[in-house]
Structure 1
Amino acid sequence: MRRELPPTAGLPLRFSDLLPGRAPFAERMAAWLGIDEVQLECSGTAAMVVALQAMHRLRPDRHEVVVPAWTCPLVALAIHRAGLTLRLCDLAPNHFDMDAAQLAAVCGSNTLAIVPTHMAGRVADVQQALQIARTCGAYVLEDAAQALGAQQDGRSVGLLGDAGFFSLAVGKGLTLYEGGVLITRDASLREAFAKSRNDVIHPDLRMGLQRALELIGYAVAYRPSLLSWAYGAPLRKALAKGDPVAAVGDDFGPDIPLHPLGRWRQTVGARAMTRLPNFIDTTRQQATRRVEQLRHLPGVTVFDDAIGTRGVWPFLLLTLPTEAIRDAALQTLWTSGLGVSRLFIHALPDYGYLRGMLPTADLPNARDFAARSLTITNSPWLRDEEFAQIFAALGRALTS
């Protein structure tokens, strides 16, 4: 049987996690994050919709949300679903974070929120966003979808800005096969989020059942012996058709499910969460060793923790010197079953299904980052000898 590794380090579930019962997931999550309470949603995208609609209700004269031009397409769909206008900010050169000068230029009196994004578990420069937001009177909503467990200055990300949200989707560490956590330290925002939830979120038994069945499927199939069927085969089929967007799962439809997070899935999360801190420590130690090895490759940038931050490591994010070199590496690695992949295929305006939703913009750094970046799984299932194969393939691409 083919051994297939996932592109990210997800926490495997145990049979005991799935047993009936009740456990206080929201309370445990709040205590772990160091906050009084959290608001649970059915996805990180739903949490973003709820937060933005609440912010817009508090500041109805503002309609624009500023996001990095290279990020998950679901961010654009969430802003559109909230009835707001997307403003794109180009990236800093060879970095996932927003360019400071352009961020200041695109923000103004119509800016409702700035969304710094903690990409690949690395912590974004929220202080930069806060300084600009305070100048123009905007909120800062931290997109921590890929960063549950990451810290800045000794406390959880999502707490430096006005609010933040995490995703519990597959591959984000702890998963409920979709789920979201919305947090804020501001009592008025917390009240506004609760009111927004009552307006936006509606019962949907079909979606609740679907997510429960998908979570069971994840518990069964999330292992190297079965991922070739559940993940590898669809990946290789999409790549054979020349469809990298489908290969990485960026092919989202316009509808965003907005329903409550079921009690049983919350119980599953509460049980699995007891293993999450140790899992984060284990994957951090593994990532530290492998990032140091990758630094020896000429012309390769590997993104690590900035001073004062302690990120999480679902995967390693790196850029190669040119698109041609990146593509040469992926030619052998993407279908190898070793967990090498890409994160987001395009800058946001270059997704066909987002056209008409986004303004045209000159975004050279975002497009360059999309063209030169790749990811390496940080799953504990990736053995040292398999990582050595990846390292060697990258070296050959760099010297060919």
Structure 2
Amino acid sequence: MARPATVPPTAGLPLRLADLRPWGDADLAGRLAQWLGLPHQVQLECSGTSALMVALRTLKTLAPGRSEVVAPAYTCPLVALAVAQCGLRLRLCDLRADALDMDPQALRALCSERTLAVLPTHLCGRVADVAMAMDRAHAVGAYVVEDAAQALGAKFGPQPNDRPAGTLGDIGFYSLAVGKGLTTFEGGVLTARDAAVREALRATSAATVRPSPWWELRRSVELAGYAALYRPAGLHLAYGAPLQQSLARHDWVEAAGDDFDDFIPQHPLGRWRRRVGCRALERLAAFQQQAAGQAQRRSAQLAAIPGLEVVADAAPRARGTWPVILLRLPRSAARDALLRAHWGDGSGLSLPFVHVLTDYGRYDHVLDAARHDPVEQARDWAGRLLAISNSPWLDDGRFAGLLQILEQSALATS
């Protein structure tokens, strides 16, 4: 029996052999600043998580009397690990009932004179309401660190006066990990609106981030492996087979990639990987435009199925990126049944994250007071969300099959 075709869980930008040449422009910071339309240089780190840690350590020096960081209850577990490694306490904000974003009333209740930073998060490319978060944070003297790890290329506001997501907060960061669009296998980007804050970020990085030839060699080998295997012929080896093994063990946390250990590497992003990033960046805008067109067509087809909600941007007049299409199903039982039947079978289904942070158990040691924050609406989102890959390798034929699966599920649960 033929194995099912493997579809990547997100729409990552494939690399070309020519991208791997060991010579050429390595000014990825300058190229990214230009691509984002920023008048100043961005700062490169080795991962989005490392960029977040540099940001938080910088803010600790700017506001030493503050100790709490407020983030959405449904977000990447690496956020909790990063906050703890910076010696800060995480507080979890519940989500809105009508949008995948922090609830304004819940956020107001959490913000206080102890709050160092609030982290509005553009989850899976869906744009959060950063203006609301800034209003709540600045009212108590806190900073806003805009988590645009999954949203490089998203925009606020109407054209031609739009602004890049990640640049509205006091500090913003992006991830260049696999599956996020542009990748250097791992990589992070920092930016800040204020020149003094940008200088403080550079000083913190210089004081705390040390070269690591071992980690740079490892990431370089992994990037070469990504270039070789991130294509239809190689995906089963790189992603499909490990996914099927995790699902066979009924380990959804491992299948979703939510199984992190406490150690977070921090080292400079190497010159060769920056060269690869510069070459791939030239194709990113066209790739994202194609992905947006595909997502809009498919979202309209999905929205026509009774009971399915296509998750939209929370911020008004925003244009997010589309690594995946997010759906919210009427009931968690229906969502779970779909995943048990079709996760890993080539249908393109997956989860952004399995749980709210307090429900993993394995991260309780870094949650502290956050374990008692009310997160019921976020828990409801976590139980009903479903991600559909927006990779071009989920072709129209297979997407038509997925529509049929979802229509049958809607009929069975109506």
Do they fold alike, i.e. is TM over 0.5? yes
1:206 to 211, 214, 219: 214
Could you tell me whether the CA contact under 8 Å between 1:95 and 1:369 is conserved in 2?
Answer: no
Tell me how far apart the structure 2 counterparts of residues 249 and 94 of structure 1 sit (CA, whole Å): 27
Q: How does 1:335-350 map to 2 (within 5 A)?
A: 335-350=344-359
Question: What count of residue pairs does the alignment treat as equivalent?
Answer: 400
Partner of 2:34: 31
Tell me how far apart the structure 1 counterparts of residues 384 and 327 of structure 2 sit (CA, whole Å): 8
Q: Compute the displacement of 1:220 (Å).
A: 0.4
Partner of 1:52: 56
Partner of 2:389: 377
Give the match's secondary structure for 1:310: coil
Superposition CA RMSD, Å: 1.1
The one-letter code sitting in structure 1 at the alignment partner of 2:36 is L
Q: Compute the displacement of 1:269 (Å).
A: 0.2
Partner of 2:84: 80
Tell me how far apart the structure 2 counterparts of residues 304 and 89 of structure 1 sit (CA, whole Å): 20
1:323 aligns with 2:332: yes
Give the match's secondary structure for 1:17: helix
1:42 aligns with 2:46: yes
Output one character per residue of 1:25-76: Cα deviation in whole Å (capped at 9) or x when no partner.
1111001111111000000000000000001100000010000000000011
Tell me how far apart the structure 2 counterparts of residues 21 and 31 of structure 1 sit (CA, whole Å): 21
Partner of 1:257: 265
Tell me how far apart the structure 2 counterparts of residues 202 and 127 of structure 1 sit (CA, whole Å): 35
Output one character per residue of 1:271-324: Cα deviation in whole Å (capped at 9) or x when no partner.
000000000100000000001111111121112345321111001111100011
Could you tell me whether the CA contact under 8 Å between 2:184 and 2:223 is conserved in 1?
Answer: yes
1:300 aligns with 2:304: no
Percentage identity across paired residues of the two chains: 52
Output one character per residue of 1:239-276: Cα deviation in whole Å (capped at 9) or x when no partner.
11111000011000000000110000000000000000
Partner of 2:286: 278
Give the match's secondary structure for 1:283: helix
Q: Compute the displacement of 1:198 (Å).
A: 1.2
Could you tell me whether the CA contact under 8 Å between 1:94 and 1:369 is conserved in 2?
Answer: no
The one-letter code sitting in structure 2 at the alignment partner of 1:322 is R
Tell me how far apart the structure 1 counterparts of residues 365 and 344 of structure 2 sit (CA, whole Å): 33
Give the match's secondary structure for 1:356: helix
Tell me how far apart the structure 1 counterparts of residues 227 and 239 of structure 2 sit (CA, whole Å): 14
Partner of 2:93: 89
Q: Compute the displacement of 1:94 (Å).
A: 4.8
The one-letter code sitting in structure 1 at the alignment partner of 2:271 is R
Partner of 1:10: 12
Q: Compute the displacement of 1:328 (Å).
A: 1.8
Partner of 2:380: 368
Could you tell me whether the CA contact under 8 Å between 1:121 and 1:312 is conserved in 2?
Answer: yes
Name structure 1 gaps, 5 residues minimum.
none
Output one character per residue of 1:159-190: Cα deviation in whole Å (capped at 9) or x when no partner.
11101000000100011100000011211110
The one-letter code sitting in structure 2 at the alignment partner of 1:382 is L
Give the match's secondary structure for 1:237: helix
Output one character per residue of 1:49-107: Cα deviation in whole Å (capped at 9) or x when no partner.
00000011000000100000000000111111111110110111153201110000000
Output one character per residue of 1:103-160: Cα deviation in whole Å (capped at 9) or x when no partner.
0000000000000000111110001101111210000000000000001121111111
1:193 to 201, 214, 218: 201
Tell me how far apart the structure 1 counterparts of residues 247 and 68 of structure 2 sit (CA, whole Å): 36
Tell me how far apart the structure 1 counterparts of residues 176 and 124 of structure 2 sit (CA, whole Å): 14
Could you tell me whether the CA contact under 8 Å between 1:22 and 1:264 is conserved in 2?
Answer: no
1:22 aligns with 2:34: no
1:71 aligns with 2:83: no
Q: Compute the displacement of 1:205 (Å).
A: 0.6
1:162 aligns with 2:170: yes
Tell me how far apart the structure 2 counterparts of residues 353 and 334 of structure 1 sit (CA, whole Å): 23
Could you tell me whether the CA contact under 8 Å between 2:99 and 2:312 is conserved in 1?
Answer: no
TM-score by length of 2: 0.95
Partner of 1:127: 131
Q: Quick check: 117-126 or 362-371, which moved more?
A: 362-371
Could you tell me whether the CA contact under 8 Å between 2:100 and 2:311 is conserved in 1?
Answer: no
1:176 to 163, 168, 184: 184
Tell me how far apart the structure 1 counterparts of residues 55 and 131 of structure 2 sit (CA, whole Å): 20
The one-letter code sitting in structure 2 at the alignment partner of 1:126 is V
Name structure 2 gaps, 5 residues minimum.
none
Could you tell me whether the CA contact under 8 Å between 2:6 and 2:344 is conserved in 1?
Answer: no
Q: Quick check: 169-178 or 354-363, which moved more?
A: 354-363
Moved beyond 6 Å, runs of 4+: none
Could you tell me whether the CA contact under 8 Å between 1:39 and 1:183 is conserved in 2?
Answer: yes
1:149 to 149, 153, 159: 153
Could you tell me whether the CA contact under 8 Å between 2:324 and 2:388 is conserved in 1?
Answer: yes
Tell me how far apart the structure 2 counterparts of residues 208 and 165 of structure 1 sit (CA, whole Å): 21
Output one character per residue of 1:360-390: Cα deviation in whole Å (capped at 9) or x when no partner.
2331111111111110000111111111111
Tell me how far apart the structure 2 counterparts of residues 390 and 304 of structure 1 sit (CA, whole Å): 20
Q: Quick check: 155-164 or 300-309, which moved more?
A: 300-309
The one-letter code sitting in structure 1 at the alignment partner of 2:44 is L
Tell me how far apart the structure 1 counterparts of residues 265 and 100 of structure 2 sit (CA, whole Å): 28
Tell me how far apart the structure 1 counterparts of residues 281 and 307 of structure 2 sit (CA, whole Å): 38
